[in-house]
A and B are shown apart, each in its own frame.
Chain A
Amino acid sequence: GESVGLHLPTLSVQEGDNSIINCAYSNSASDYFIWYKQESGKGPQFIIDIRSNMDKRQGQRVTVLLNKTVKHLSLQIAATQPGDSAVYFCAERALSGNTPLVFGKGTRLSVIA
Chain B
Amino acid sequence: DGGITQSPKYLFRKEGQNVTLSCEQNLNHDAMYWYRQDPGQGLRLIYYSQIVNDFQKGDIAEGYSVSREKKESFPLTVTSAQKNPTAFYLCASKLAGADTQYFGPGTRLTVL
Contact = CB atoms under 8 A, between A and B. Distances in A.
Interface of A: 32, 34, 36, 41-46, 49, 51, 89, 93, 97-98, 100-101, 103-106
Interface string B24-67: 00000001010100000111110010100000001000000000
Interface of B: 4, 6, 31, 33, 35, 41-45, 48, 50, 58, 90, 96-106, 108
A82 B41 CA distance: 22
8 contacts: A34-B99, A43-B4, A89-B42, A98-B31, A100-B58, A101-B101, A103-B42, A105-B42
Given A45-B103, A46-B102, A98 B42 contact: no
A93 B99 contact: yes
A100 B31 CA distance: 10
Contact of A49 (B58, B97, B99, B103): B99
A38 B41 CA distance: 12
Contacts of B105: 42-43
A98 B50 contact: yes
A93 B98 CA distance: 12
B63 to A, nearest CB: 19
A44 B31 contact: no
A103 B90 CA distance: 13
B59 to A, nearest CB: 9
